[in-house]
């Protein structure tokens, strides 16, 4: 077992990296002894891990119940949030109770948002079972749902009390979800970790084989990069926005595709598009751009795709919640391991970037 401490004062928590659920109850007990725990999971994950997680959480001394929500991004909405809150009431959760998010990023975002709302906020823990959730969404306290065609437009900052990462859950992960998660991992290397990027590049086959020791090492290093950013800017007032590298175009493409592509795949395309803009401005070299594309390609990403109408993507970009004074914020690399934030990217540059990733 490995451990990483996220220091946020009263909202601090541990991230635990291991290869089983056997310590889940003991780790949960360390953050408090809730009388009741509601496991929120989805229809894909419940048959795989709900019974095992429930058994281990009962070792904390709590009374544990399970709420199963429908799987899929299309169900990430306020109606499902209200269903979770109804389950909290039905199972008698009070202010000392806890929600446990067991699943991927959608489950974590919604369970965390429900925990932030219920009784004006109760504790919750993250038990991420996908690479996307383990590498990104379970760490940092962002919760939310999609609304009116915009991704994560409603939400709250609500830090977990524990993140428990069992890397062996990735062995039941479909290949497309593994690729999706690697998008966020590669992103962290590009924005803040040249050595980590090189580790990802030089250990492709070991990582793709899900070697346990390699994966725990990768996961801990990856989470340490995100945690460091979060500790320096919890509420995204400045530095934390660099975590949105690839997301400005990526989120818009994800919405324009009606969520038919995975989040990580769209982020991968968004990173290539943003890096193309950076190359056009002379911030990075063509060799650096090719190196990024090569690593993404090595992990199975499509580096070009037939895009929807550009006007549709541009429309979704205008709904981006990261706009500043009406201007879109872009994160652009200036090297592998360092990025800058800009608000002066032109529509012509965006169109050029879309053409670069469009296979038509």
Per-residue pLDDT tens over the stretch 88-138 = 999 999 999 999 999 999 999 999 999 999 999 999 999 999 999 999 999
| pLDDT at residue 319, as a whole number | 78
Residue holding tokens 């383990």? 134
CB 75 within 8 A of CB 48: no
Asked whether residue 214 falls in the same domain as residue 159, the answer is: no
Among residues 169, 185, 212, which one ends one of the domains?
A: 169
Among residues 169, 190, 214, which one ends one of the domains?
A: 169
Among residues 146, 169, 192, which one ends one of the domains?
A: 169
Domain that holds residue 77: 2-169
Asked whether residue 151 falls in the same domain as residue 254, the answer is: no
Rounded to 5°, the CA angle 96-99-104 comes to 160
Task: Decide if pLDDT at 321 tops 70.
Answer: no
Task: Decide if pLDDT at 324 tops 80.
Answer: no
Asked whether residue 156 falls in the same domain as residue 198, the answer is: no
Asked whether residue 99 falls in the same domain as residue 128, the answer is: yes
CATH of the domain at 80: 3.40.50.1970
Please state, for a pLDDT cut of 90, what percent of the chain lies above it: 88
Asked whether residue 160 falls in the same domain as residue 207, the answer is: no
CB 99 within 8 A of CB 71: no
**Bridge-based pairing state of the strands 36-42 and 98-103:** parallel
How many domains does the chain divide into? 2
Task: Decide if pLDDT at 308 tops 90.
Answer: yes
Asked whether residue 151 falls in the same domain as residue 46, the answer is: yes
How confident is the model over 158-169, as pLDDT tens digits? Answer: 999 999 999 999
Asked whether residue 283 falls in the same domain as residue 262, the answer is: yes
Average pLDDT over residues 191-200: 94
Asked whether residue 87 falls in the same domain as residue 235, the answer is: no
Residue holding tokens 């991420």? 128
How confident is the model over 226-236, as pLDDT tens digits? Answer: 999 999 989 88
Mean pLDDT over each residue of the chain, to the nearest integer: 94
Give 148's pLDDT tier (boundaries 50, 70, 90).
confident
From the list 146, 64, 73, 123, the residue with the least C-alpha distance to 103 is: 73
Asked whether residue 56 falls in the same domain as residue 113, the answer is: yes
| pLDDT at residue 151, as a whole number | 81
Asked whether residue 157 falls in the same domain as residue 30, the answer is: yes
41: left (phi > 0), else alpha (psi -120 to 50), else beta? beta
Asked whether residue 216 falls in the same domain as residue 292, the answer is: yes
Asked whether residue 211 falls in the same domain as residue 325, the answer is: yes
CATH of the domain at 204: 1.20.1090.10
How confident is the model over 30-86, as pLDDT tens digits? Answer: 998 789 999 999 999 999 999 999 999 999 899 999 999 999 989 999 999 999 999
Average pLDDT over residues 164-180: 94
Please give the model's pTM, rounded to 2 decimal places.
0.89
């Amino acid at each position: 077992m490995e451990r990483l401490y996220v220091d946020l004062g009263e909202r601090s928590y541990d991230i635990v990296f291991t290869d089983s659920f056997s310590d889940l109850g003991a780790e949960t007990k360390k953050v408090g002894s809730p009388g009741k725990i509601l496991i929120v999971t989805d229809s894909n994950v419940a048959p795989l891990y709900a019974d095992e997680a429930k058994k281990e959480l009962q070792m904390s001394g709590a009374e544990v119940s399970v709420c199963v929500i429908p799987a899929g991004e299309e169900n990430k909405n306020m109606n499902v949030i209200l269903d979770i809150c109804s389950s909290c009431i039905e199972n008698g959760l009070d202010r000392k109770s806890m929600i446990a998010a067991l699943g991927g990023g959608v489950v974590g975002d919604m369970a965390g948002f429900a925990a932030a709302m219920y009784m004006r906020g109760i504790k919750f823990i993250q038990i991420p079972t996908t690479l996307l959730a383990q590498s990104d969404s379970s760490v940092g306290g962002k919760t939310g749902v999609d609304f009116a065609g915009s991704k994560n437009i409603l939400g709250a900052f609500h830090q977990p009390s524990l993140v428990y990462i069992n890397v062996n859950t990735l062995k039941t992960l479909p290949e497309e979800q593994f690729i999706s998660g690697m998008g966020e991992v590669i992103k962290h290397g590009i924005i803040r970790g040249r050595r980590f990027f090189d580790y990802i590049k030089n250990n492709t086959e070991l990582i793709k084989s899900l070697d346990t020791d390699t994966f725990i090492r990768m996961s801990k290093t990856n989470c340490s990069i995100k945690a460091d950013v979060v500790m320096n800017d919890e509420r995204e007032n400045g530095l934390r926005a660099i975590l949105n590298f690839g997301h400005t175009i990526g989120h818009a493409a994800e919405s324009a595709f009606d969520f038919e592509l995975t989040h990580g795949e769209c982020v991968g395309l968004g990173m290539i598009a943003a890096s193309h803009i950076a190359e056009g401005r002379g911030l990075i070299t063509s060799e650096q751009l090719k190196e990024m594309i090569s690593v993404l390609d090595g992990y199975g990403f499509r580096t070009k795709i037939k895009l929807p109408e550009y006007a549709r993507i541009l429309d979704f970009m205008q709904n981006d919640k990261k706009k500043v004074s009406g201007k879109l914020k872009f994160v652009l690399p200036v090297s592998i391991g360092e990025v800058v934030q800009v608000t002066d990217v032109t529509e012509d540059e965006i169109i050029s970037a879309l053409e670069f990733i469009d296979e038509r």
